[in-house]
């Protein structure tokens, strides 16, 4: 019997009774992931220009640095989205009705609390399925949530988004909402996001919901400041990717030999973060059997962070069968939150 089926009546249930954790990355999947592990890094570092996937930002230290970024005065994203959620969470809960909340890239689940509060106030049962690749942050945030919300039930999935979307069990509540907030969509290229929307569509039943938070186009100066903060936290976050690779792939990147570089590409409407080599050098990635050569000033692109136009995005979602039924923004139109419904 799954935790969602146990009838709870007289006694409040313990955290253990309300928590289920599944690791879809390890250990069962380890044999297959070993073979493919690092393939994406090899592919990115052997092409011109060099790239690395943003998922390598998020080791434990990287996740901590990202939490610090969210508090920076220049990084308006988290603050703005939080304000929108605070203002409209009740309306969102009313529109979806009682539903299971699935969150892709749940991290610390801080913003999710706003939604949980709204559903709780309307008397709806709380079923939450956080999905994150970082098993550590996933379990600690789930436990904290369960301690704070005594009726909440959590099924946490340590998983990639793709795998988790394929493994969702039928919901026991009248509906389901898949949340993808925090503008993580910005990390995907336009074709990758189309593919992603198709996976969301496939994971939903007709009438179910998709809640999407995205950063919007705005003056270059505001955007560039957000990715070049004065305290240098974003630079440390970017450089930490090399530290992570050193550990994961027995490599010898010398962090002194690279610098953070971020700018707004106005043609593509995206922030690009790069690491620039400060000299010509060769880096050994021993467990990948790879020697990477850098020319002086050559860069690795570590992230794109796309900035969206609401009209265009609404059209794209519509085409993918995810019909935007309500869109909210802040007074400056800096950030957008869209509630879509599968038709
Ligand atoms: C987590 C992808 C939304 O693009 O703003 C923050 C990551 N990179 N500072 C973003 C990030 C540099 C962030 N997302």
How far is 85 from 83, CA to CA, in rounded Å?
5
- Domain extent at residue 214: 74-219+309-342
Nearest to 82 by CA among 74, 71, 93: 71
Instruction: Examine residue 99 and state whether it is found in any structural domain, yes or no.
Output: yes
| Atom nearest to 183 CA in ligand 1 | 3
Please tell me if the CB atom of residue 233 comes closer than 6 angstroms to any atom of ligand 1. no
List, as one string, the DSSP characters of 125-193: --EEEEEES-HHHHHHHHHHHHHH-TT-EEEEEES-HHHHHHSPPPPSSSEEEEEE-TTGGGGS-HHHH
pLDDT at 29: 62
Q: Give 159-184 pLDDT, tens digit per residue.
A: 989 999 999 999 999 999 999 999 99
The residue nearest atom 2 of ligand 1, judged by CA position, is 184
Tell me how far the alpha carbon of residue 178 lies from the centroid of ligand 1, in angstroms: 20
Instruction: Examine residue 151 and state whether it is found in any structural domain, yes or no.
Output: yes
Q: What is the mean pLDDT of residues 93-113?
A: 96
pLDDT at 315: 98
Q: Give 68-98 pLDDT, tens digit per residue.
A: 999 999 999 999 999 999 999 999 999 999 9
Instruction: Examine residue 54 and state whether it is found in any structural domain, yes or no.
Output: no
Q: Give 200-209 pLDDT, tens digit per residue.
A: 999 999 999 9
In degrees and rounded to multiples of 5, residue 192 shows phi and psi of -65, -35
Instruction: Examine residue 298 and state whether it is found in any structural domain, yes or no.
Output: no
Q: How many domains, in total, are found in the chain?
A: 1
Instruction: Examine residue 127 and state whether it is found in any structural domain, yes or no.
Output: yes
CATH number, position 110: 3.40.50.150
Please tell me if the CB atom of residue 182 comes closer than 6 angstroms to any atom of ligand 1. yes
The residue nearest atom 5 of ligand 1, judged by CA position, is 305
Q: Give 31-59 pLDDT, tens digit per residue.
A: 566 667 899 999 999 999 999 999 999 88
Instruction: Examine residue 231 and state whether it is found in any structural domain, yes or no.
Output: no
Instruction: Examine residue 100 and state whether it is found in any structural domain, yes or no.
Output: yes
Instruction: Examine residue 43 and state whether it is found in any structural domain, yes or no.
Output: no
């Amino acid at each position: 019997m799954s935790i969602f089926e146990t009838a709870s009546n007289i006694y409040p249930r313990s955290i253990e009774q309300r928590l289920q954790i599944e690791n879809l990355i390890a250990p069962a999947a380890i044999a297959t992931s070993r073979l493919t592990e690092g393939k994406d890094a090899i592919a990115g570092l052997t092409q011109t220009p060099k790239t690395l996937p943003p998922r390598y930002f998020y080791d434990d230290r990287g996740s901590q640095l990202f939490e610090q970024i969210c508090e920076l005065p220049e990084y308006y994203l988290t603050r703005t989205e939080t304000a929108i959620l605070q203002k409209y969470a009740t309306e969102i809960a009313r529109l979806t009705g009682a539903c299971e909340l699935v969150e892709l890239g749940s991290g610390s689940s801080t913003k999710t609390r706003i939604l949980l509060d709204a559903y709780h106030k309307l008397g709806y049962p709380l079923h939450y399925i956080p999905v994150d690749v970082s098993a550590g942050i996933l379990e600690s945030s789930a436990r904290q949530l369960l301690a704070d919300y005594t009726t909440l039930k959590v099924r946490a999935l340590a998983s990639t988004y793709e795998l988790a979307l394929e493994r969702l069990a039928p919901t026991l509540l009248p509906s389901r909402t898949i949340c993808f907030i925090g503008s993580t969509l910005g990390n995907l290229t336009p074709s990758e996001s189309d593919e992603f929307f198709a996976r969301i569509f496939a994971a939903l039943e007709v009438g179910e919901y998709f809640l999407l938070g995205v950063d919007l186009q705005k003056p270059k100066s505001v955007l560039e400041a957000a990715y070049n903060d004065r305290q240098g936290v974003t630079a440390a976050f970017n450089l930490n990717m090399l530290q992570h690779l050193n550990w994961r792939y027995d490599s010898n990147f010398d962090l002194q030999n690279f610098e953070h570089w971020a700018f707004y590409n106005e043609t593509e409407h995206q922030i690009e973060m790069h690491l620039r080599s400060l000299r010509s050098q060769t880096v050994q990635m021993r467990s990948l059997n790879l020697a990477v050569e850098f020319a002086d000033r050559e860069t690795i692109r570590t992230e794109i962070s796309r900035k969206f136009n609401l009209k265009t995005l609404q059209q794209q979602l519509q085409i993918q069968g995810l019909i935007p039924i309500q869109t909210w923004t802040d007074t400056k139109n800096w950030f957008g939150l869209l509630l879509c419904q599968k038709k």
